[in-house]
Amino acid sequence: MTRLFDVAAIRKEFPILTREVNGKPLVYLDNAASAQKPDAVIDAIANQSRTAYANVHRGIHTLSNETTEAYEAGREAARDFFNAPGTDNIIFTKGATEGINLVASALAETIQPGDEIVLSVMEHHSNIVPWHFLRERQGAVLRWVGLNDDGSLDMDAMRAAIGPKTRMVAISHMSNVLGTVNDVAEIGRIAHAAGARVLADGCQAAVHLGVDVQALGCDWYVFSGHKLYGPTGIGILYGTSGALAEARPYQGGGEMIETVAMDRITYNEAPHKFEAGTPPILEAIGLGAAIRWFRQFDQAEVQAHEHALYQRAREGLRGVDGLTVHGEASGKGSVLAFSLQGAHPHDLAQILDRYGVAIRAGHHCAQPLMTHLGVSATARASFGIYNTEAEVDVFIEALEKARGMLV
């Protein structure tokens, strides 16, 4: 049953939102980096630890069975959330970064010198560095796709970049800096026509858009739980059955094997083939709790709420002299990156913190994008389910005060 969307009631479920920072009520606008945790997630982890903790899959005693059931319930929650065909398509990782490294490691065995990996300049470092490994170690060629003036992806350049040598297109579904939402389904059609695979980085999109991996048609999709009000140290790698069948294991150890002998081994089936060793048990249970909590709400209402906050902030910033907003593509998500002439982003963030306002400042693990924008860093405010219009107003007022101090 869908729950009534009431931001005041939602805020009461996040204990940290009651605290003060520097004598001011906390205004947390760093959600794109990591979101806060509701009681449902905190309690799920604590209760499992208190009442029914054991290792999963291998035991036959009661505690192991109960923990395994709760752990696999987290996988089912993720399968349902992403509309994956089955739980076999959902691999638990420690985050999106490990998921991308897993895919790059699997691809490395087939890469020949001159094979191409296509990336956009808006990618997070997690979706750049593993492909540089293939460039350094396997002789792969990285092909970069640029942006239009509004921060949208240059789709003509994308079409031109994908060709007979393309092995992988790795693309953010939604930029963590610009908020730009990329047409993963169309990129997938272009890539598949050329015989290439597609990996989508869904860390931001999964929170703000709603994701159907079957409709997107990508081969791989990665996501980190801490962006969706869940724990750190847990993520999801979705893979199609075909992609998973082609990929060799990323790590060796317990659980990922079927048999081990002195002269041979045979591997377990997916997803266990890619989950060597004791997994992040409590984190997976916490992720399941986060997904179930989040899905109580009508996702269109959540998106409308976040978009309204972004629009309020965007309009409020129009009156700030010397301020530039980076990324204004149509349909963008609720991420607001900006620069203020004469003020370093780090100084802005420090002054805003005096007023209890938490924003991000830096290159946001997106240095190629900073180069494209012609800046070394930006400030970023990002909005979540528990943020309010009053908090947006506090942010704008604090920014005006910071400008008066710095410019």
- Mean of pLDDT values over 315-342: 95
Chain-wide mean pLDDT for the chain?
A: 96
Residues known to be catalytic: 365
Residue 256 has a pLDDT of 86
Quote the pLDDT of residue 1. 73
Coil, strand, or helix at residue 199? strand
Average pLDDT over residues 328-335: 96
Residue 182 has pLDDT above 90, yes or no: yes
Q: How confident is the model at residue 342 (pLDDT cuts 50, 70, 90)?
A: very high
Overall average pLDDT of the 44-61 stretch: 94
Question: For the chain, what percent of residues have pLDDT higher than 90?
Answer: 93
Indicate the pLDDT class of residue 254, thresholds 50, 70 and 90. Answer: confident
Please, what are the domains in the chain? 7-30+298-406 (3.90.1150.10), 44-294 (3.40.640.10)
Query: Coil, helix or strand for 360?
Result: strand
| Distance from C-alpha of 144 to C-alpha of 334, rounded to nearest angstrom | 25
What pLDDT was estimated at residue 275? 92
Decide if pLDDT at 319 tops 90. Answer: no
Dist. CA 45–CA 12, nearest whole Å? 19
pLDDT in the model for residue 246: 92
The arithmetic mean of pLDDT across residues 149-161, rounded, is: 98
Mean pLDDT of the 253-265 span: 90
Residues 30-40 have pLDDT tens digits of 999 999 999 99
- CB-based contact 205:221 (threshold 8 Å): no
Tell me the Ramachandran region of residue 14: left when phi exceeds 0, alpha when psi lies from -120 to 50, beta otherwise: beta
Peptide bond into 271 cis (omega under 30): yes
pLDDT tens, position by position, 57-94: 988 999 999 999 999 999 999 999 999 999 999 999 99
Q: pLDDT for 184-234, tens place per residue? A: 999 999 999 999 999 999 999 999 998 999 999 999 999 999 999 999 999
Please give the pLDDT value at position 407.
78
Helix (H) or strand (E) holding 198: strand 197-201
Q: How confident is the model at residue 255 (pLDDT cuts 50, 70, 90)?
A: confident
Residues 236 and 202: beta-carbon distance below 8 Å: no
19 pLDDT tier (thresholds 50, 70, 90): very high
What integer pLDDT is reported at residue 120 of this predicted model?
Answer: 98
Q: Which residue shows structure tokens 């317990």?
A: 254
Contact between 191 and 169 under an 8 Å Cβ cutoff? The reply is yes
